[in-house]
């Protein structure tokens, strides 16, 4: 009977070692994304107008409503403290026009203290979001996050010109 318990313990130890080794072999590094610009030869019905807003500027009430719906929405988040805010808004405007996408722009600096607290309590992931990012939401969940750097914003804007 003792031999049986010793064999079971040895098997458990071997399986644990195999499990630990397989977990350590997985990649723990963050994969870097590369921006690949594809030139599109598409003609649009109208010309892009820098002065026209093709995105939807939103407030907390609208954000709260669309955040809870069972439909996928694209929301761009920025704030006044961001040093790339103007370029980011320009990028959002171009993406909205050229991709014919309905993007909601939320400036967290425009939120009152009360609404800012409600905003951060909607989902724990909202607290960790940096400014100048685009999220896709569905039924109170963030299903996609894209954060932009100054270089990536400029590259993408140049690709549309």
pLDDT at 22 (0 to 100): 63
Q: How many CA atoms lie within 13 A of 63 on its CB side?
A: 26
Q: Convert the pLDDT of each residue in 51-107 to its tens digit.
A: 888 888 989 898 889 888 888 999 999 888 888 888 888 889 888 888 888 889 988
Per the DSSP assignment, residues forming a β-bridge with 57 are: 105
Task: Tell which wins on pLDDT, 28 or 151.
Answer: 151
pLDDT surpasses 50 at 29: no
Pair 70, 138: CB distance under 8 Å: yes
pLDDT surpasses 70 at 30: no
R_g of the chain, CA atoms, integer Å? 23
What is the reported pTM?
Answer: 0.69
């Amino acid at each position: 009977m003792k031999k049986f318990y010793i064999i079971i313990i040895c098997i458990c130890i071997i399986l644990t070692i195999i499990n630990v080794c397989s977990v350590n072999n997985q990649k723990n590094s963050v994969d870097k994304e590369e921006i690949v610009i594809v030139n599109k030869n598409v003609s649009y019905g109208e010309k892009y107008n820098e002065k026209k807003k093709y995105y939807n500027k939103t407030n907390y009430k609208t954000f709260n409503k669309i955040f809870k719906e069972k439909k996928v929405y694209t929301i761009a988040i920025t704030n006044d403290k961001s040093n790339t805010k103007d370029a980011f808004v320009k990028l959002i405007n171009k993406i909205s026009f050229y991709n014919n996408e309905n993007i909601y722009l939320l400036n967290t600096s425009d939120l009152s203290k009360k609404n800012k607290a409600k905003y951060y309590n909607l989902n724990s992931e909202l607290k960790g979001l940096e400014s100048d990012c685009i999220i896709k939401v569905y039924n109170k969940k963030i299903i996609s996050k894209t954060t932009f750097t100054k270089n990536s914003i400029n590259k993408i804007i140049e690709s549309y010109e």
